């Protein structure tokens, strides 16, 4: 039987380095978050939820426009793991795996996510972790088998699942990926300006 995988879009960050809500910045005619939601909607999930922050009404509107369930994280200042814990409380408890997507990776592709799912389906262990890599460096998104659900729920701070990945290398299935644009994010104004240039075909590195 095919494994049941859920998706979590982490979109509750404070955007402190950016100085404004980066997920609502425009890129190619729509906001950054919309690009990630569009990719997520093109895949089949047993469950899917976005965890959002402020401005709640605007971010919720973007999620609703893409028919993606959302939940507001009032404790987002505690870091990314507060969003992970909140999502786990809302997700189907019978999932076989959970993929965590970042809301600020606008070039994330269906091809990458589907390849991660395909790799996950090949492994029987509930403790499998699928981690894409570029030039040997771990990247996001990450797919955790259901065996890690309790550990994910016990995380704190802003490190996310990286602590689990570091502590359990034997459970990690690395997926070497040759297309770095999938991992481009936008934490600073300079990075955002660079994303604009990349999307306009002015810079491909």
Domain 5-199 belongs to what topology?
Spore Coat Polysaccharide Biosynthesis Protein SpsA; Chain A (3.90.550)
**Residue percentage of the chain with pLDDT more than 70:** 98
Greater model confidence, 160 or 50:
50
Domain borders along the chain are 5-199
Is the pLDDT at 164 greater than 60, yes or no? yes
pLDDT grade, residue 184 (50/70/90)?
Answer: very high
- Of 29, 53, 51, 146, nearest to 96 (Cα)? 146
Residue with tokens 């609703």: 64
- Of 152, 191, 145, 195, nearest to 170 (Cα)? 145
Largest CA distance in the chain: 47
The token duo for 161 is 């699942």
pLDDT grade, residue 205 (50/70/90)?
Answer: very low
| pTM, 2 dp | 0.94
Answer for the pair 32, 124: CB distance below 8 angstroms, yes or no.
no
Greater model confidence, 1 or 127:
127
């Amino acid at each position: 039987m095919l494994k049941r995988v859920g998706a979590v879009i982490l979109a509750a960050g404070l955007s402190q380095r950016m100085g404004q809500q980066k997920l609502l910045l425009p890129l190619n005619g729509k906001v950054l978050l919309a690009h990630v939601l569009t990719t997520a909607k093109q895949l089949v999930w047993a469950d899917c939820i976005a965890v959002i922050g402020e401005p709640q009404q605007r971010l919720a509107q973007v999620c609703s426009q893409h028919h993606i369930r959302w939940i507001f994280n009032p404790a987002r200042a505690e870091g990314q793991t507060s969003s992970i814990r909140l999502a786990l409380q809302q997700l189907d408890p019978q999932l076989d795996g959970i993929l965590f997507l970042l809301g600020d990776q606008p070039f994330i592709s269906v091809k990458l996510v589907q390849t991660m799912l395909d790799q996950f389906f090949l492994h029987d262990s509930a403790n499998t972790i699928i981690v894409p890599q570029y030039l040997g460096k771990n990247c996001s998104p990450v797919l955790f088998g259901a065996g890690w659900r309790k550990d994910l729920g016990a995380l704190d701070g802003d490190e996310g699942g990286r602590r689990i990945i570091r502590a359990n290398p034997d459970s990690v299935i690395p997926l070497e990926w040759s297309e770095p644009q999938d991992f481009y994010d936008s934490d600073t104004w300079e990075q955002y300006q660079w994303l604009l240039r990349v999307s306009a075909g002015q810079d491909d590195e």
